Structure 1
Amino acid sequence: MPTPAHPCPCGLPAAYADCCGRFHSGAGQAPTAELLMRSRFSAFAVGDTSYLMRSWHPATRPDRLDLDPEQRWVKLDILGTDRGGLFETEGSVEFRAHYREGRHTGSLHENSAFSREGGAWVYVGPLSPVAFD
């Protein structure tokens, strides 16, 4: 788990506590689909499964989530967004998430759907097949 002053794993130029850490702790909610995507990447990076489950749409959320302790999420590239703004209820974010597993490096490419439920953005699922490189 990064310290509060540590750079945020999501790639924005802010300390973890001021960026995604505030969403993970419940001190705030991601105001856009992109910021929710970034906070979910950071949750994978720091192993925060409770945040991942809370920020997943109830209709698509798995019963449980077991993260691979050997897999380290190291970098996020946002490739594009469609809607998902402050006053919208649906949106999508296309991203590439880079990981390291032992000596192997790879990436996951996904275009994800998000919706606003009860005022909070949640991850719905991929809009197209997920690609691992």
Structure 2
Amino acid sequence: MTVAAQGPCPCGRVDARRRPLPFAGCCGRYLAEFERTPAPDAEALMRSRYSAFVLEDAGYLLATWHPSTRPPEVGFEPGLKWLGLDVRDHRVLDATHAEVEFVARSRLAGRAQRLHERSRFVCEDGRWFYLDGEIE
């Protein structure tokens, strides 16, 4: 799947007027310029990782996964369609640790699915990484 730069970001973030943010001004900048533009906080990283799942960007997902828990590869379910993201909570635990609770909705073979997870993130050298998560 591709997303137009000025089209709505897959993560669903909106501005103060509740208008969808464009992909280029939201998660797109983190995916396109990973080395120069790290996500500024755990929520932004989680949203950009959701967008990376929508776009099947395995390179970004692996690069933003902490090396201590990173799998050797990321697989994508053929035919899976991501439908939306709801961020329920973003808790900053300290300067280098945070948690984000979210629900991601998808559909596979006509059947609706939802992933409810509380993800843990760690910041090292000014860059946030996904550590792991608990499915709820």
* Between 105-114 and 62-71, the greater mean CA deviation after superposition: 62-71
Deviation (angstroms), 1:97: 0.5
Which amino acid in the other structure matches residue 11 of structure 2? Answer: C
1:30 and 2:55 are equivalent in the alignment: no
Map 1:1-133; keep pairs closer than 5 Å: 1-12=2-13, 13-26=20-33, 27-83=36-92, 88-126=95-133, 128=134, 130-131=135-136
Deviation (angstroms), 1:82: 1.0
Structure 1, unmatched stretches of 5+, are none
Output one character per residue of 1:6-54: Cα deviation in whole Å (capped at 9) or x when no partner.
1000001211111101000115111010010100001101111110000
State the alpha-carbon separation in 1 of the partners of residues 7 and 116 from structure 2: 26
Which amino acid in the other structure matches residue 75 of structure 1? Answer: G
Which amino acid in the other structure matches residue 50 of structure 2? Answer: F
State the alpha-carbon separation in 2 of the partners of residues 31 and 5 from structure 1: 21
- TM-score (norm: length of structure 1): 0.90
Deviation (angstroms), 1:118: 2.2
Q: How many residues align?
A: 127
Give 4+ residue runs of structure 1 displaced > 3 Å after superposition: none
State the alpha-carbon separation in 1 of the partners of residues 78 and 58 from structure 2: 12
State the alpha-carbon separation in 2 of the partners of residues 10 and 98 from structure 1: 11
Structure 2, unmatched stretches of 5+, are 14-19
Deviation (angstroms), 1:66: 1.1
RMSD: 1.4
